[in-house]
Structure 1
Amino acid sequence: MTPQEIEALFTRTDGSYAFARWGRPIAPVVFGVEDQTLAVVKGAIEALCHLAGHDIAETDPELGVNLMVFFLREWDELRGVPDLDRLIPDLAPLLDRLEGIDANQYRIFRFDEAGAIRAAFVFVRMDAEMSKVPAETIALAQAAQTMLLWSDQAFTDRSTLAQTPSGAVVLRPDIGALIRAAYDPVLPPSAHDPSHALRLSARVGAAL
Structure 2
Amino acid sequence: MSEAAPFDTSPDAVTRLFTRSDGSYLFARWGRPIAPVAFGVEDSTVSTLKGAIEAVCQLAGHEVAETDPELGSNFMVFFLREWQELVDTPNLDRMIPELGPLVERLKAADANQYRLFRFDEAGGIKACFVFVRMDEIMSEIPADTICLGQVVQSILLWSDEAFLGTSPLALTGDNVAILKPDVAAVIRAAYDPVLPVTADDASHALRLSARIGLAS
Using the size of structure 2 for normalisation, the TM-score is 0.94
RMSD of aligned C-alpha atoms?
0.8
Q: Does 1:178 align with 2:186?
A: yes
Q: 1:207 Cα shift?
A: 2.8
Work out the CA distance in 1 between the residues paired with 2:175 and 2:66: 33
Task: Name which of 5, 10, 18 aligns with 1:2.
Answer: 10
Match of 1:25 among 6, 23, 33: 33
- The amino acid that maps onto 2:204 is H
Give the AA of the match of 2:10. Answer: T
2:46 to 38, 43, 49: 38
Say which SS state the counterpart of residue 51 (structure 2) adopts.
helix
Q: 1:8 and 1:76 mapped to 2: Cα distance?
A: 34
Aligned to 1:76: 84
Letter in 1 for 2:209: S
Q: Percent identity at matched positions? A: 65
User: Given the alignment of the two structures, is residue 150 of structure 1 paired with residue 152 of structure 2, yes or no?
Assistant: no
The aligned residue for residue 15 of structure 1 is 23
Amino acid at match of 1:65: S
Aligned length: 208
**Counterpart selection for 2:129 from 97, 121, 138:** 121
Unpaired runs of at least 5, structure 2? 1-8
Q: Which amino acid aligns with 2:128?
A: A
Distance in 2 of aligned mates of 1:50 and 1:34: 25
Segments of 4+ in structure 1 off by > 3 A?
none
Q: Specify the SS of the correspondent of 2:132.
A: strand
Partners of 2:26 and 2:88 in 1: CA distance? 33
Letter in 1 for 2:153: Q
Other structure's SS at 2:76 match: strand
Alignment of 1:47-126 (within 5 A): 47-126=55-134
Q: How far has the Cα of 1:206 moved from its partner? A: 2.7
AA matched with 2:51: G
More moved, 82-91 vs 55-64: 82-91
DSSP 3-state at the match of 1:121: strand
How far did residue 83 of structure 1 move?
Answer: 1.1
TM-score (norm 1): 0.98
**Alpha-carbon distance in structure 2 between the residues aligned to 1:38 and 1:130:** 17
1:26 deviation in Å?
Answer: 0.3
Distance in 1 of aligned mates of 2:75 and 2:98: 19
